[in-house]
Chains A and B, each alone.
Chain A
Amino acid sequence: MNESRGTRAWRWLREHAVNIVAALVVVYLLLPIAVILLFSFNNPAGRYNYTWVGFTLDHWAHAFSRPELNEALVTSLKLALLATVISTIVGTMMALALVRHQFFGRRLANFLIVIPMATPEVVMGAALLSFFLILGTPSLGFETLLIAHVMFCISFVVVVVRSRLIGFDRSLEEAARDLGANPFETFRLVTLPLIMPGIFGGAMLAFALSIDDFVISNFNSGTTVTFPLYIFGAAQRGIPVEVNVIAMILFSVTVAAMGFTTWQQRRAEKMASVRPEQEEAPIPLPAT
């Protein structure tokens, strides 16, 4: 109790040092996002949106007033959607094989999935371009972008879905079989709903990776322009403020989607922990 004020302050600082550093890091992580948001309200004097001039809501009101930007955005959304659907189906199948089956070549398959994640993007982009060049593909464009995007999304989908499958309680499937469901029904009515949050998480990751990809796309796009490629092209002549607005819109949508996934995941966890005292029916029974 005889501690001087100095020692007390020192002790407080020592106890909370980790928290203080952590708070600073959080600020550091969010700072660029705050800057993007702030500059979406800027009213720049010239073409360059780098210095703060004045507040305006104009660019939010006319977010979709630039045809080239809209076109790039639509291309990106289409590309991301298609790449997500393909890579999620293919990746989920691979994850099922790797977790549920013992087979010859399992280690090799694992290796094939890990190695693209350990390869720098610039190498992947360059390799694909070399491939398309030597093959003499008629033209680079949407199709080559789709091939590339599915390629780099697959591994991430597999990793996410696999982590969900590993924690899977297989007695639920056995119960379904005991109740007379055939393997296909078991999969459709028990397995699939339970691993759905994992699949959804993998799909979201694939979508985020695809819509954000610049490096690999830059190599394989030809004259097709995606949202990141538009930004890169615009950077030299000055990026329109609308880009910041659209970035913040995309940000909000992603945050909402992520909130939804978390909520769904909690629900599925509840569903999976079958307890007699639970009130609602945990698994929807097949209509017979």
Chain B
Amino acid sequence: MRRRIVPYFLLGPGTIWLVLFFVVPLFYMAKLSLNAGVFGELHFDWNWSNYSEALSAYDTQFVRSFEYAGAATLLALVISYPLAYAIAFKAGRWRNVMLFAVVAPFFTTYLIRTIAWETILSDESPVTEVLHAIGLVPSGHILATGPAVIAGLTYNFLPFMILPIYASLERIDVRLIEAAKDLYSSAAQSFWRVTLPLSAPGIVAGTLLTFIPAAGDYVNAQFLGGAGNRMIGNVIQSLYLSQSDYPSAAALSFVLMALIMIAVVVYIRFAGSEALMGEEAR
């Protein structure tokens, strides 16, 4: 009898905290999103028009958020895989140094990191000059454009992509790759048919851990984007904090959460589910 109570006792405080300050607030936000009236005289009224109005007013920002987050996730995957691969299979005694480089950005404040990119991508910066010189970027400003926001998102969430991919690569039994080679597969074949499929859980976890925060982000758009690059996070933030249009802001938050959940569920169906539950590396 005593043993049956123990787990509930251990879970109790944390569960209460999460229910009270995560689950219950979501219900309150749902209620707020159906309020009618102006600030000061808000009242609950099953006012579904908040949703349709908010969606039709800010559909561009929604689409843009998902485009930017998608682009950043894809870029992060392309950048991360070679690094994760090198750390897992080629780094040797450099492994710890490289892992340190991956987590180092976490040790500086998110805002300062983003502001550092503002410096790096500004018109006078040497990096901008080099990018222009090699023709990678057409002449003109880099700051206050969509690509600048995508670059910031890619950078800021890169460790979330690298670490899970590294973790899944590191777990691969090297003998499997050797077996492929013994069976006369070329280096490319053994990569595409053995290594890559075995690292799939890491890729799935990494893309989710990058895409979810990127889609809701507003710091990068704030500092690196211009007026035409506002994301849905910026809208929610300003409706809540400067315009006090709580019902619309709450409705938008809900739609954002729902769309992300749908995207995640569809993606997991498509990519296999063992990845999410097994791979909760940060």
Interface residues of A (CB under 8 A from B): 18-19, 21-22, 25-26, 28-33, 35-36, 39, 50-51, 89-91, 93-94, 96-98, 100-101, 103, 109-110, 112-124, 126-131, 133-135, 147-148, 150-151, 154-156, 158-159, 205, 208, 211-212, 214-215, 218-219, 227-228, 231-232, 235, 239, 243-244, 247, 250-251, 254-255, 258
Contacts and interface: CB of A to CB of B under 8 A. Distances in A.
Nearest to B13: A90
Given A36-B112, A126-B240, A215 B219 contact: yes
A22 B83 contact: yes
B195 to A, nearest CB: 12
B213 A128 contact: no
28 contacts: A21-B83, A22-B82, A22-B86, A29-B155, A31-B127, A39-B116, A97-B11, A109-B11, A112-B15, A116-B22, A120-B216, A122-B233, A123-B254, A124-B22, A130-B32, A131-B25, A131-B28, A134-B28, A151-B17, A154-B17, A158-B14, A212-B110, A214-B110, A219-B237, A232-B111, A239-B115, A247-B108, A250-B109
Interface string B1-44: 00110111011011101110111111011011000000000000
B87 A22 contact: yes
Contacts of A21: 82-83, 86
Contacts of B86: 18-19, 21-22
B142 interface: no
A251 B216 contact: no
Contacts, number: 236
Interface stretch (B133-141, B171-179, B245-253): B245-253
B86 to A, nearest CB: 4
A102 to B, nearest CB: 8
B223 interface: yes
A117 B105 CA distance: 20
Given A131-B28, A134-B31, A18 B82 contact: yes
B29 A29 contact: no
Contacts of A243: 112
A57 to B, nearest CB: 20
A103 B253 contact: no
Given A22-B86, A30-B104, A36-B113, 9 more contacts: A29-B101, A32-B105, A50-B118, A51-B122, A100-B7, A116-B22, A123-B236, A150-B21, A215-B233
Given A22-B87, A32-B113, A159-B282, A121 B17 contact: no
Nearest to A254: B107
A154 B282 CA distance: 13
A244 B250 CA distance: 35
A247 B282 contact: no
Interface stretch (B47-55, B56-64, B196-204, B256-264): B256-264
Given A113-B18, A151-B21, A127 B110 contact: no
A117 B208 CA distance: 11
Residue from B11, B83, B122, B237 having most chain A Cβ neighbours under 10 A: B11
Nearest to B19: A112
B57 to A, nearest CB: 17
Contacts of A116: 18, 22
Nearest to A110: B277
B101 A235 contact: no
B119 A122 contact: no
Given A26-B98, A130-B32, A131-B24, A93 B109 contact: no
B90 interface: yes
Contact of B120 (A18, A32, A232): A32
A217 to B, nearest CB: 11
A150 B6 CA distance: 23
B111 A228 contact: yes
Contact of B21 (A31, A89, A128, A244): A128
B42 to A, nearest CB: 9
Given A29-B105, A122-B256, A130 B83 contact: no
Interface string B201-223: 00000001000110111110001
Interface in B91-128: 91, 98, 101-113, 115-120, 122, 124, 127
A137 to B, nearest CB: 12
Given A50-B118, A159-B282, A247 B112 contact: yes
